[in-house]
Amino acid sequence: MTQPDSIRVMVVDDHAVVRSGLRFFLLSCDDIELVAEAASGREAIEQCHAIKPDVVLMDMVMPGMDGVETTEAILENHPQTKVIALTSFREGDLVQRALQAGAIGYLLKDVPIDDLAAAIRAAHVGRSTIASEAAQELVKVNTQAPPVGEDLTDRQREVLALIVEGLSNNEIAERLVISMATARYHVSTILSKLGAANRAEAAALAVRHKLT
């Protein structure tokens, strides 16, 4: 029977053995109660509507609707619910996507049971818990240099395509029906963003990285 001050938890995982293990673990916590289980994202959303758990332990990689999509859908309708990503995957981009979707925590499935219980309690009061391995991968993602040309605007890509064709600033201005000053500005900005020393290098980078 649910205690008045117990934390109501739902487990979402497509593997029955994982759900069984978490169920057994939660039975040992006096202040935490398992109130629902789901084997898929769609089922999790339905259960969340019906049960309204306090905290959801969410697998990230599931067939069909994955954990990121499921987290977004749950929090859109139940913003008071706290979602903890509980997964075997520590890739930085997945960590980033989970947190952007609204997950308050990110833990790996080999987390010690005492740490998992502490994370559930922390999530319930609005505190985040991120596995150190996941945090390290997240830092790597956020410190990597962006792909060459990623920050070029659509207009700058147009101008770059004309540079590749070998057009001069004056010819670019005529082709795009813009002023000479504007054409010169676009070319200068493109060289700066690409880190190119001249138009020839910019054209070479454009071809190599398929920017046009």
> Domains of the chain by range and CATH?
7-143 (3.40.50.2300), 154-208 (1.10.10.10)
At 1 the pLDDT is 47
At 143 the pLDDT is 73
Strands, E assignment, the chain: 7-12, 32-38, 55-58, 82-87, 105-108, 129-130
**Cα separations in angstroms, 71 against 37, 38, 59, 91:** 15, 13, 10, 18
Sheet holding 82-87, edge to edge: 32-38, 7-12, 55-58, 82-87, 105-108, 129-130
Q: Which helix (H) or strand (E) holds 116?
A: helix 113-124
At 147 the pLDDT is 81
Which residues, given as ranges, of the chain have pLDDT below 50? 1
Pairing of strands 105-108, 129-130: parallel
At 148 the pLDDT is 85
**R_g over Cα of the chain:** 25
Q: How many Å apart are CA 170 and CA 34, to the nearest integer? A: 70
At 3 the pLDDT is 58
**pTM higher than 0.85:** no
Q: How many Å apart are CA 71 and CA 76, to the nearest integer? A: 8
